[in-house]
Amino acid sequence: MSAPPDTVPPAKQRSLAEQGDPEQVLAAYRWRLDPVTLREELPEPDDMRAIRRRLTEKLGSAVDNRARARLLSLRAVASRILGDLDDALADGRLALTYADATGELRRTALAQARLAHVLRWRGDFAEADQLFAKATSIELPDRLRAAIHEHAGRSCYDQGRLMEACHHFEQALDLRGAGDAELLDRIRVALDAVAARAAADGFGPYPRSRDEVLDRDRPPAPGQAGALWGYTDPDGDLVIPARYAEVQPFHDGLAWVRRPDSDRWSLINLLGTTVIPPSYRAARPFSDGLAWVVGEGGWTAIDATGAVQVPPNFAEVRPFRNGVAAVRREGWGAVDRTGRIVVPTRYHGFATELADGRKVDGFTEEGLAVVDVGGRRGVVDRGGALLVPPAHPMLVIHPVAFLVGSGAGRWGALDRRGEPLIDPVHVDRAAVLAEIDRLLTDANPVL
């Protein structure tokens, strides 16, 4: 479904045309929240109709999935503000399809959050909350993560989940409160609304966990009874008897356990039924439907039936993530789920680090990894393409760039093609991050 045609008086059209690109005009909007509904107020509907019309014009010349995802999801924002929720929903769903096709985490998160906001206005809270939860990732910029938490909090407010709303608002403030005056103002309005509503109706149910929002069952957790181990439910009651010398947590509905009379690990399901008998000297949890185990010939990857998917050929391994796992043979590289080498095993190590200092075990969610050769770092993707040659003493992954440090301790940045973006003249990462924020055309995420 396409957005309805917009008719704007000629004088208003000329005024808007002078303001530049519709995406930038929309990003420059400074929204005021209704103090009761916590929805954005629209002082000039004609302006928003003109923005939507111009987004439609740009969409007509969009040639790739990135542009289509961006423009469709922004048009969904404009239609939502105008109250055209059916059009907003259609654009939001199509935008997410295009965003998923790009494989870019940030682009997908924006599309998910914008669609979730439409669903919130429609009253489809279960799906809205799930999309907000899926959109949040530690690999996103703090500004975007804060915006997602703010909007998730408003969705909880609509449902009377006021404690959960406050939890989201607190997370948004932790991420951006000190450096975002507009966010502070909006959350003050939101907290005033929460206080007024709580005084009348109470704070509502206790906050849900992320698994509860995503409608995931919590698996039994390891629990000890005497010298042996079993598994307990959320109330602490043993639901799988304590009969094992060692146990591992459940992943993908399966867990590795070792009985006292065996030196081999076996696999059980959520009912405690043995799926694979004692077979392996070492085993690691399932991830992406595969688990690394050691039998007689080194590390090999098996599926839940015990069938070998990646033959034994590696001295060290890391978990599969989005279909790829880091492995070491003569050097470090990566394999896919069939055992095909997708990143040659010629690197001295993986050293993937995010811009906020967090370490990643192998590849990021969008399939990037920092590799090391003799203390110099570069970037490969999950398909084996070398995006940045290993030439930098320090390198960390930013959601839209790569931060690089020189031997003299100065920091700069490369774009995602590995081309220079910011000269290495800054004394710390924070200054580079601030400059990237200024360079981004959509640094202020419109949700």
At 26 the pLDDT is 87
Q: Which tokens in the block code for residue 437?
A: 């924020």
Do 308 and 326 fall within a single domain?
Answer: no
Are residues 234 and 160 located together in one domain of the fold? Answer: no
pLDDT in tens, 246-271: 999 999 999 999 999 999 999 999 99
445 and 328 in one domain?
yes
φ/ψ of 230, rounded to 5, equals -140, -150
Which helix (DSSP H) or strand (DSSP E) does residue 88 occupy? helix 85-102
Report the candidate in 182, 188, 183 with the shortest Cα–Cα distance to residue 145: 183
Beta bridge partners of 324: 321, 336
Are 393 and 346 found together in one domain?
yes
Considering the domain architecture, whether residues 68 and 144 belong to the same structural domain is answered as yes
Asked whether residue 384 is assigned to any structural domain, the reply reads yes
Same domain, 270 and 353: no
Could you say which of 258, 284, 314 is where a domain stops?
Answer: 314
Within-domain flag for 4: no
In a domain, 2, yes or no: no
Angle between helices 105-122 and 142-158 (to 10 degrees): 20
Q: What angle do CA 84, 88, 93 make, to 5 degrees?
A: 160
Both 186 and 142 in one domain: the answer is yes
Amino acid at 207: P
Domain co-membership, 40 together with 116: yes
For strand 238-244 and strand 411-415, is the pairing parallel, antiparallel, or unpaired? unpaired
Give the residue from 192, 213, 234 where a domain finishes.
213
Provide the CB-side half-sphere exposure for 311 (13 A, CA). Answer: 3
Considering the domain boundaries, does residue 114 fall inside one? yes
Whether residue 441 is predicted with pLDDT greater than 60 in this model: the reply is no
pLDDT number for residue 11? 47
Instruction: Assign residue 196 the CATH number of its domain.
Output: 1.25.40.10
Task: Tell me how far apart the alpha carbons of residues 388 and 204 are, in angstroms, rounded to a whole number.
Answer: 50
Evaluate whether 86 touches 102 at the Cβ level (below 8 Å).
no
Band of residue 433 on the pLDDT scale cut at 50, 70, 90: confident
Tell whether 250 and 307 lie within a shared domain.
yes
* Tens-digit pLDDT profile for residues 115-124: 999 999 999 9
- Based on the structure, what is the number of domains in the chain? 3
The domain that holds 420 is classified in CATH as 2.40.128
Domain assignment present for 1:
no
Please choose, from the candidates 95, 103, 114, 126, the residue with its C-alpha nearest in 3D space to the C-alpha of residue 1.
Answer: 95
Decide if 3 is inside a domain: no
pTM for this predicted structure? 0.80
Q: Which of 161, 191, 213 is the last residue of a domain?
A: 213
Cα(302)–Cα(344) distance, integer angstroms: 22
User: What residue has token string 């396409």?
Assistant: 2
Model pLDDT for residues 292-332, shown as the tens digit of each residue: 999 777 899 999 999 999 998 899 999 998 899 999 998 99
Report d(CA 132, CA 134) in Å as an integer. 6
Q: Do 16 and 147 lie in a common domain?
A: yes
What CA–CA distance (Å, rounded) separates 66 from 78? 19
Partners of residue 418 on adjacent β-strands:
none
Residues 61 and 137 in one domain: yes
Sheet containing 299-302: which strands, arranged edge to edge? 282-283, 291-294, 299-302, 308-314
Q: Are residues 428 and 363 in the same domain?
A: yes
Look at residue 5 and tell me if it is in a domain: no
Residue at 415 is within a domain: yes
Quick one: which H or E segment has residue 243? strand 238-244
Give the C-alpha separation, 197 to 447, whole Å: 24
- Which domain covers residue 305, as residue numbers? 219-314
